[in-house]
Amino acid sequence: MSVGRETRLSAWIERFAAHFAEEGIPLIGGRILGYLLVCQPTERTAAELSQELEASSGSISTNLKFLVNAGLVTKRTRRGRQAAQYRINEKRWVDLIQRKLDALVSVRELTESGMRLMSGDPERAMRLRTVDDLYTWLATELPAVWDRRPPSSR
């Protein structure tokens, strides 16, 4: 008995959502993202998502709003039709990654201001210095990586 592609896809969507749930994205939001990445046709209404993902209309609404606001999902309205269509905006995925990298690098501002508070006491600053060196390293390396991001993401 073989497992259909759609069944395997919904299992994949679930793993996908679970990963982003660990990063703070609500489960249902992650499911929407995974689903919109692979569904055919590419556009869905809120009602369709609600049925397909077995989530309440309220949760779909809240999460779509969040995702549209983040730029990851695009809402398309049509004259003469009441239901808007939602589709993934995969070009904006790079923003998600940028935010992650920025969050990492931003710790440097903390360690730097800490180092300033310690100036005049190099002995005491040694521990913080090791950590500060790490974030300084990241802050110098990551922008160069950023410049090599794939053309498909620009």
Min separation Cβ 94 and DNA, Å: 23
CA 72 – CA 63 distance, rounded (Å): 11
> How far is the CA of 36 from the CAs of 71, 100, 139, 141, in angstroms?
14, 22, 34, 33
Looking at 56, 57, 83, 110, which residue binds a copy of itself (CB under 8 A)?
Answer: 110
- Per-position DSSP letters for 26-45, written without gaps between them: -HHHHHHHHHHHH-SSS-B-
Considering the complex, state which of residue 2 and residue 82 has its C-beta at the smaller distance from DNA.
82
Tokens of 21: 């749930």
Considering the complex, state which of residue 70 and residue 139 has its C-beta at the smaller distance from DNA.
70
Pairing, β 73-76 against β 85-88: antiparallel
Q: Which residues bind a copy of itself (CB under 8 A)?
A: 5, 8-9, 12, 15-16, 19, 22-24, 36-38, 40, 42, 88, 90-91, 93-94, 97, 100-101, 103-104, 106-107, 110, 113-114, 117-118, 124, 127-131, 133-134, 136-138, 141-142, 145, 148-150, 152-153
